[in-house]
Amino acid sequence: MKKRFVYSLSFISISILSLPLFATTSNTTQVAEAIPHLVQEAQHAKSAKRVLANYLRNHYKKFAIDDALSQKVYDRYLRNLDFNKNFFLASDIANFSQYANNFDDALQQGNLAPAYTIYQTSLERRENRFNYAISLLDKKYDFAQADDKFFYDREKVEWAKDEAEMNEVWRQRVKYDLLNLKLADKTPDEAKEILKKRYERNIKRLYQTNSEDVFQSVMNAFSRSIEAHTSYLSPRNAERFQMQMNLSFEGIGASLQIEDEHTVVRKIIAGGPADKSGKLKPEDKIVGVGQADGEIVDVVGWRLDEVVELIKGPKGTIVRLQVLKGDSDAKKYELIQFTRDKVKLEDQQAQSKVYIPESTLGENAPLGVIEIPSFYNGLTGHVRKLIDELKTQNISGIIIDLRGNGGGSLNESRTLTGLFIDSGPVVQVRSGNGRVDIERDSDGVIHYDGPLTVLVDRYSASASEIFAAAMQDYNRAIVIGEQTFGKGTVQRHKGLGRYYDMNENPLGSIQFTTAKFYRISGGSTQHIGVIPDILYPSAVVPEEWGESQEENALPYDKINRANYTTFSDTQNAIDILTAKHNKRVLQNPEFAYIFADIAEYQVNKDKKFISLVESERLAEQDESKVKRLSRTNERLQRKGLEPVKSMDDLPEDALDIDPFLDEAANITYDLIATGKFAINSKKS
């Protein structure tokens, strides 16, 4: 019997990214009031050797343990500890350089003393900087000082040459924090008190650091130096990850991570309150959490598990999040309210609806839309039932909506493809030894043979890309939207413990890449993803977001084409559809907004600073509010509704607009008119 891959596919890797860098794993209630002296624990030598041995033996990517790798691990480790160059001085880096070629030997010997030495200095520098920040709170600040700026992106600048230069970095940062709180209607005294508590809390976090934190950081520097989706999880964090995957978790339905002391939204979980509200997005920063009543608690600098504890709660209760929007040039705060609920499996299942865009009401037969949030086990059977239900409603075509779908089961991507073709290869999988297995559909039945379009975006990844690529390669469907994420690899999760380790401290676990996907046409989905037949306008540049910008991601390459036959030659049809799409987009006011936002984003995307002049920041906020209100009233007018004086007056769901889905529907109608992509087939 043919062996099938059973690994899960997703573009969200289990990694240090989802966990706090300086997070204690101690259960003690006593907090030391000094920087701890950290040394490697006994189990870490064994764990380091097992991680190295597993990667060398089982990883898809072959690598050498040498000085070149050591340099990569060293560089990555420094960035893990001080990504934005806010703590280490140039003199520290010069001193650390003696260890640059030692990490390969340290891993082989299981002696990570150099990493502990560097980490110890990091703790001391952080304590010094936060104490300095506290001292700056006693000073007076002029928020009208012309040309004063906070340079928040310091990744590519030189390390500060001395303490005076670093002091200026922190003057900007403290003033920025104070101005943000002032713009959030805090009095000067309230703002200073909030920041004092924030900086003191950061210092206490340093005092709680233990040896496992160091080990996790260096092992992830090593893992990510090999490949982008390879990582190490400490025993406590592996357990925490499993708890976070519990589908009965009561909260808002968002995957969070820690970045530079901020809690950042990594992914919105389908079916949860955050997903249903549409108000919280990936890259948003949660800076404050409040309950239904009472104050908003500042959570900058908190551990991830502590922030999660504040956010989660009983179903039906209210939680309020103060959010720094990730897409905001003005870096403005928004207060978002959610009603907590259970994120249940059924809420994450595929859903269907009968759909006609308002612009074509009365002109066209209805379409079926099937929204698929992930490739969960049982997806294909569920979609089969949804198709049957849509058929009873005389739909003229189907749109498969894969926007935001980060992947899931390889087997489901294969069987879902099988609903729309009779039989044939779906995806090729190459293992590290070069063997290529072809995953096939072989039932000889097409469950739906009508016109089909597939809607994707930059967040569509992995299993989503397998399905979309197969539909495109077979000329079975038109793929519409943004270029997809570009993750074409398989990961395996493995514990480091052995049965004979029972009486020893646990060793944690690893995730590593074992295989790579290829389209049946031969090209990898890695880096490139799936390029739609009809591209939507997008502010997301593929080279700047997605797998292609992940450091040490496996490259794009090609293998031989599988043996398959396309349904028809559709290039002429695509050319016609593209021309009609372009004409509509130029006349669509919603796309005019999108083009304007893209142009604004392109102007500001390379800015690495933000003004510290209060009047300039207020002007930016006012401009944003005016633009938002103006667009809202223009939309209301087009719908024949009365304008509003403020966004607070807008009735809920009054403007439930999805221009991308509307245009996908219009393209589907154009497709139906061409007579292409419908198949004469045996039906189940």
Positions marked catalytic: 462, 473, 487
Instruction: Round to whole Å and give the CA distance between 174 and 660.
Output: 41
Q: Kindly report the backbone phi and psi dihedral angles of residue 297, in degrees, each rounded to the nearest multiple of 5, phi listed first.
A: -90, 125
Tokens 């994420």 -> residue: 485
| Extended strands (E) in 547-682 | 609-611
**Class of residue 361 by CB neighbours under 10 A (exposed 0-12, middle 13-18, buried 19+):** exposed
**Class of residue 50 by CB neighbours under 10 A (exposed 0-12, middle 13-18, buried 19+):** buried
Read off the tokens for 307: 């922030």
3-state secondary structure of 218: helix
**β partners of residue 268:** 254
3-state secondary structure of 277: helix
The answer to whether the CB of 160 falls within 8 A of the CB of 627 is no
* Helix residue spans in 351-484 (DSSP H): 379-391, 410-418, 463-473
Instruction: Round to whole Å and give the CA distance between 40 and 49.
Output: 14
Tokens 């897409």 -> residue: 327
Instruction: Round to whole Å and give the CA distance between 85 and 67.
Output: 24
Read off the tokens for 266: 């990594």
Instruction: Round to whole Å and give the CA distance between 253 and 267.
Output: 9
Q: Which distant-in-sequence residues (6+ apart) come within 8 Å of 575 by Cβ?
A: none
Q: Kindly report the backbone phi and psi dihedral angles of residue 564, in degrees, each rounded to the nearest multiple of 5, phi listed first.
A: -155, 165
Query: Identity (one letter) of the amino acid at 10?
Result: S
Closest C-alpha to 287, from 263, 306, 315, 265? 263
DSSP code of residue 682? -
3-state secondary structure of 566: coil
**Sequence-separated contacts (24+) of 577-585 with Cβ below 8 Å:** 577/478, 577/533, 577/534, 577/667, 577/670, 577/671, 577/674, 578/533, 578/534, 580/666, 580/667, 580/670, 581/534, 581/663, 581/666, 581/667, 581/670, 584/663, 584/666, 585/537, 585/663
Read off the tokens for 376: 């969960």
Tokens 């000073």 -> residue: 139
Q: Which distant-in-sequence residues (6+ apart) come within 8 Å of 606 by Cβ?
A: none
Instruction: Round to whole Å and give the CA distance between 306 and 205.
Output: 12
Q: Which distant-in-sequence residues (6+ apart) come within 8 Å of 565 by Cβ?
A: 424
CA 449 centroid distance within chain:
34
CA 11 centroid distance within chain:
8
The answer to whether the CB of 526 falls within 8 A of the CB of 544 is no
Query: Identity (one letter) of the amino acid at 509?
Result: S
**β partners of residue 323:** 286, 334
Read off the tokens for 374: 């992930």
Q: Which distant-in-sequence residues (6+ apart) come within 8 Å of 316 by Cβ?
A: 339, 340, 341
- What Rg do the C-alpha atoms of the chain give, in angstroms? 27
